[in-house]
Amino acid sequence: MNKTIIGALVGASVLAGGCGTVVREVERLAVQSSPTIGTATATTAPPGSPTGSPGAGDLKQAAQAALGAVPGSTLVSIETEENGRLWEVQVVGEDGTEHQLDVESGKVVSGPTTEQEDNADKAKHRARVSAAELDYAQAADKIAAAVPEGRITELNLDTEQGKTVWEADVIGADGTKHEVAVDAATGSVTRNNSATT
C-alpha cells in the first residue's frame, strides 16, 4: 500500500483518537496490504499467453467438476475457451455416449449435453477409452514433466499412428507453444514439438 496514504491515515488517526487508534489502524492496514498464505497473488502472464490462463490445477478442478456431473464417465477432451476463463470438456459414458460441458471456476455452467452419435462412434469412444491405461490426470502430469512450468490449454484422447495417445497443446513459461503427445498405454512422451506463437 502507498506509504503516503498510510502516513496520512496515521496522522489523521492520531488527531482524531490518540495512539491506541493509531496502533489499531496500522495493524488493520498491514493485514489488508499483505497477502495471506494460500491466497492467489497476481502474476504476469508469459508473452503470447491469455490473461488469467488456467494451470494444471485448474484443468484438474474443471475435469473433476465435469466427471462429477456425469457419473461413471471418462474424460476424453478438455480445452480452454474464452481467453482461458472457461473449460470445454467432453466425457464419455460407459456406453460410449459423449457428453459436453462447460466449466468455469470449478463449476459446471453449461451441460451436460449429449452428442448425437451413431453406434459406430460410440464403439470408437469405448475402444479408445479401453485402450488408455493413463487417465487425463496422469497424462497431464507426464505432459507437465515434458514442459516444465507449461500450461496445458488443450488435452485430447486420440489415435496417432495406430496408437491411443493423449495429445496436448501447452504454452511454455516463455510463451512458446508445444504440441505434446503421450502414449496412453505406456505413458512415454512420443512427441514434443514447439514453435514460437
Total domains in the chain come to: 2
Instruction: Tell me the residue range of the domain where 15 lies.
Output: 3-33
Please tell me whether residues 26 and 103 are part of one structural domain: no
pLDDT at 62 over 50: yes
Does 47 fall in a domain? no
C-alpha cell at 93: 459414458
Q: Is residue 136 part of a domain?
A: yes
142, 96: one domain: yes
Percent of the chain with pLDDT over 90: 54
11: number of Cβ within 10 Å: 11
Spatial distance between the Cα atoms of 186 and 3, rounded to a whole number of angstroms:
57
Mean pLDDT in residue range 42-71: 64
On whether residue 146 sits in a domain, the answer given is: yes
- What's the CA gap between 33 and 25, in Å, rounded? 12
| Pairing of β 189-196 and β 86-92 | unpaired
Q: Are residues 63 and 139 in the same domain?
A: yes
| Residue ranges in the chain assigned as alpha helix (H) | 3-17, 19-33, 56-69, 119-131, 136-146
pLDDT of residue 82: 79
Tell whether 27 and 61 lie within a shared domain.
no
Joined grid coordinates for residue 72? 461413471
Is 69 found in the same domain as 7?
Answer: no
Burial category of 113 from C-beta neighbours within 10 Å (exposed 0-12, middle 13-18, buried 19 and up): exposed
Residue 49 lies in a domain: no
Higher pLDDT, 68 or 42: 68
List b or e across 85-96, with b for residues whose CB sees 16 or more CB atoms inside 10 angstroms. ebbbbbbbbeeb
Residues 28 and 77 in one domain: no
Shared domain check, 28 and 71: no
Same domain, 24 and 65: no
Residue 12, domain member (yes or no) = yes
